[in-house]
Amino acid sequence: MSIIQDIRDKYAKLTVVLIALALVGFILTDYFSGKSRGMSGGPSNTVGVVNGKKIGFEDFNKKVAQAEESLKQQGYPAAMASQQALDQAWNQEISQVLLMEEFENLGIEVGKKELGDMLYGANAPQDIKQSFTDEKTGVFNPVLAKQNIDQKLKKGTEEEKANINAFISQMVTMRQADKYFSLLANSINFPKWMIEKQNADNSQLAKVSLVREAYSSIPDSTVKVDDSEISAYVNKNKSQFKQQESRSIVYVSFQASPSAADSAAVKNNIAKQIEAFKTTPNMSQYLAGEGSNFYDGYISGKTIQIALKDSIFKTPVGEVYGPYLDGGSYSIARVLGVKSMPDSVKVRHILIGTQTRDTASALKLVDSLRAAIAAGSSFDTLAAKFSEDPGSKDKGGVYEIPSGQMVPPFNDFAFLNAPGTKGVVKTDFGYHIMEVMTHKGGGAAYKIAYLSKEIIASQETDNSALNEANAFAADSKDVKSFDTNYEKTLKAKGILKNIATDITPSSTAVRGLEAATRSFVRSIYDADKGDVLQPERVGDAYVVAAVTEVFEEGTMRPARARLAGAEAPIRNKKKAEMLTKKIGAVTTLEDAIVKLGGNKVIEPADSLRMSSALGAGMSYEPKVIGAAFNPANKGKVVPEVIAGQQGVYVVRVDYQTTTPAAQGDVNEQRAARYQQAKQNLTNQYSGNNPITILKNAADIKDKRSARF
């Protein structure tokens, strides 16, 4: 196989290598298309801007499509795959732009000599090594590799040039990323004096006695926090109360899913096809005309996983079973044959494809290879050299497979012939020189044809749901009338009123509506707060929604900041002031008990360390711990009430002492701390991750909603 084909077929491997070498958990690679990354163009062709760098729609859309297809293959539901693909591609673009800026600012480059060593040196990419390694000597020929690639870059096709340039671009990005993260990692340092100081701090031991009053002793309802106080708190802590642009809706769904009558109609219609299905002389042609596929081969009954399979297996050959319900469809099944067959086989083959050669040339090569095998040539060697099946050529053409995994002609030859059988089999891929090696297990195998008809809603059912949705929308002019109308007309029918929040401009799904579309999200953003949307088809329902909240990108308003936790610290501060005033001047712990009233007791907190909690039922209180180790407080009552996180404290420091430091070798500690910091640096969820830091400082404008 040529280097160009190798590059094209094994592109995905580079993505994995890039991630590993970049030392970060998110993807830095680009699904290079071979075209220049045009970031220019008007707003209509721009999905975002990162620090002034435009992200073009065409290239970005390809990445979204590729990511979505990959997620679907992993089993993600369509709506989830669509949303995650859009977000994944967006994060990749941001990360790449920011990293490229860093490479440029820091002068991180890959020189011509360095690139040559990367491509043709001792650690050349496996793809290149395989293509230019002598089969007899096993020696890699870097000169031949360079000559071949240089020739393709000069006189190759545009596609070949694009693939090679993309390959090299990825190699360069990988090396730059490796240098960048190595530079950051090697700048980490924990001075010896700092480790020794921490060891000394950790060797200190203290005991305190305290009286405490929890903030929960004062009912929240008695402590008012107004919006001006929330605003002031938010302004001082803006980083904690950032919000992205989003909207919230309330909605009801009018189901347009198939009715019982619709289901019965589908069942009756497929029943009328039983006779034709039973008597057709060409099952493949018949099912193709019905839009169905037909596996014209035998499959082990142990492998078959279908509804009511035991009943179908008992059906006589030539007869039809059904109609029967199979998920959201009605199906009929015709048993075409039953045979005894192994559960799995070991088989080897050499594929001579007919995609790139004519039939005569393929058959000529097949005859030559069969003659060579008959004369004693190694099947493994011939498979590695001539087979065009990438899944087996490097393993001597060997497959160990259960039934039904391969195309029917291949499957039937492997499973219906005895071990030792050799022959040539024609499939859509080409000609297979095959040998059955071993069988395992055994049992009945079946050739079965299936015809299924999906149960879909009739036009009558659909119209009924749409009419009901239109009537509700017409009587709901705003959120208030929406709620009133719901209580009056829908609640008694069992129709639920739902709430969906955090709908961003780029959302492809709405909470509770997995089938929601981008058009539905756009309708939400085309409306104003309080507007009621016209009915829109979402999955099997018509949805009527009202926009209840509109949040602009920036800092949260007081009402939302309350929900996000701004109210509690303000209220606790007020409670602390109230309790501090109640205690007054601090003299003794006993005096504090009297002033607080109730059943307060003096609580001991023994064997305290710098990083320890106060004791059973008490959380970590940094201010109390700090007071415990303040030399000025030794043997005394701390002269002020301490306002902590959970309550207020009156504290007496009973003693302070020092224990031997059993912390181990300082150099070993420094090394351990370095490794931990390095891991945090490369953890995408860590606040110390450089990409996270760069994102927080970047000017990022998300314009995806205009195109997606």
- Residue 434: CATH number of its domain: 3.10.50.40
Q: b or e along 249-274 (b: 16 or more beta carbons within 10 Å of the residue's beta carbon)?
A: bbbbbbbbebbeebbeebbeebeebb
C-alpha to C-alpha distance for 555 and 346, rounded to whole angstroms: 64
Q: Please give the structure tokens belonging to residue 135.
A: 């089969």
Same domain membership, residue 217 and residue 97: no
DSSP string, 650-691: EEEEEEEEE-------HHHHHHHHHHHHHHHHH-TTSTT-HH
495: left (phi over 0), alpha (psi -120 to 50) or beta: beta
With cut-offs at 50, 70 and 90, classify the pLDDT of residue 241: very high
Same domain membership, residue 365 and residue 335: no
Same domain membership, residue 58 and residue 75: yes
Compute how many other C-beta atoms are within 10 angstroms of the C-beta atom of residue 149.
23
Same domain membership, residue 349 and residue 336: no
pLDDT on residue 44: 54
All residues at 6 or more sequence positions from 527 whose CB lies less than 8 Å from its CB, including other chains: 533, 547
Point out which residues pair with 399 in neighbouring strands. Answer: 347
Same domain membership, residue 57 and residue 13: yes
C-alpha to C-alpha distance for 55 and 7, rounded to whole angstroms: 26
Q: Please give the structure tokens belonging to residue 261.
A: 């009558």
Question: Which residue type, as a one-letter code, is found at position 275?
Answer: E
Question: Which of residues 311, 340, 369 is at a domain's end?
Answer: 340
pLDDT on residue 19: 32
Minimum mean pLDDT range among 154-158, 342-346, 651-655: 154-158
pLDDT on residue 391: 87
With cut-offs at 50, 70 and 90, classify the pLDDT of residue 692: confident
Query: Does residue 642 fall inside a structural domain?
Result: yes
Query: Does residue 165 fall inside a structural domain?
Result: yes
H helices of 121-253, where?
126-131, 142-155, 158-186, 192-202, 227-236
Query: Does residue 653 fall inside a structural domain?
Result: yes
C-alpha to C-alpha distance for 658 and 218, rounded to whole angstroms: 39
User: Averaged over 256-268, what is the pLDDT?
Assistant: 94
C-alpha to C-alpha distance for 258 and 266, rounded to whole angstroms: 10
pLDDT on residue 366: 93
How far apart, in Å, do the first and last CA atoms of the chain sit?
39
Query: Does residue 666 fall inside a structural domain?
Result: no
Question: Which of residues 340, 372, 394 is at a domain's end?
Answer: 340
pLDDT on residue 662: 59
Cα–Cα distance list, 312 to 188, 210, 328, 333, 439 (Å): 68, 78, 19, 7, 26
Q: What is the DSSP letter of 535?
A: P
pLDDT in tens, 493-535: 999 999 999 999 888 778 888 676 788 998 999 999 999 999 9
Question: Which residue type, as a one-letter code, is found at position 24?
Answer: V
- Residue 491: CATH number of its domain: 3.10.50
User: Averaged over 285-297, what is the pLDDT?
Assistant: 91
Structural domain total, the chain: 5
Query: Does residue 676 fall inside a structural domain?
Result: no
67 versus 280: which is more confidently predicted?
A: 280
Compute how many other C-beta atoms are within 10 angstroms of the C-beta atom of residue 170.
20
To the nearest whole percent, how much of the chain has pLDDT over 90? 59
Unique residue bearing structure tokens 């024609």: 426
Unique residue bearing structure tokens 């290149």: 128
Q: Which domain, by its residues, includes 125?
A: 3-186+698-706
Query: Does residue 671 fall inside a structural domain?
Result: no
Same domain membership, residue 181 and residue 56: yes
User: How wide is the angle at C-alpha 493 spanned by C-alphas 491 and 496, nearest 5°?
Assistant: 50
Taken in order 456, 461, 463, 466, the sign of the CA dihedral is negative
Minimum mean pLDDT range among 167-176, 316-325, 543-552, 578-587: 167-176
For the cut 70, the answer to whether the pLDDT of residue 212 exceeds it is: yes
With cut-offs at 50, 70 and 90, classify the pLDDT of residue 489: very high
Same domain membership, residue 355 and residue 329: no
Query: Does residue 462 fall inside a structural domain?
Result: yes
Give the H or E element holding residue 648: strand 647-658
Same domain membership, residue 110 and residue 219: no
Same domain membership, residue 165 and residue 18: yes
Same domain membership, residue 470 and residue 355: no
pLDDT on residue 22: 34
For the cut 50, the answer to whether the pLDDT of residue 578 exceeds it is: yes
Same domain membership, residue 348 and residue 330: no
Q: Please state whether the predicted TM-score (pTM) of the whole model is above 0.75.
A: no
Query: Does residue 680 fall inside a structural domain?
Result: no
Question: Which of residues 552, 584, 615 is at a domain's end?
Answer: 552
What percent of the residues of the chain are helix, what percent strand, and what percent coil, each to the nearest 5? Answer: 45, 20, 30
pLDDT on residue 430: 93
Same domain membership, residue 479 and residue 524: yes
pLDDT in tens, 313-355: 999 999 999 999 998 999 999 999 999 999 999 999 999 998 8
DSSP string, 561-600: HIIIIIHHHHHHHHHHHHHHHHH-S---HHHHHHHH-TT-
608-614, long-range: CB within 8 Å, 24+ apart, which pairs? 608/205, 608/206, 608/207, 608/208, 609/202, 609/204, 609/205, 610/201, 610/202, 610/204, 611/202, 614/210
Q: Please give the structure tokens belonging to residue 223.
A: 């402590």
For the cut 50, the answer to whether the pLDDT of residue 2 exceeds it is: no
For the cut 90, the answer to whether the pLDDT of residue 551 exceeds it is: yes
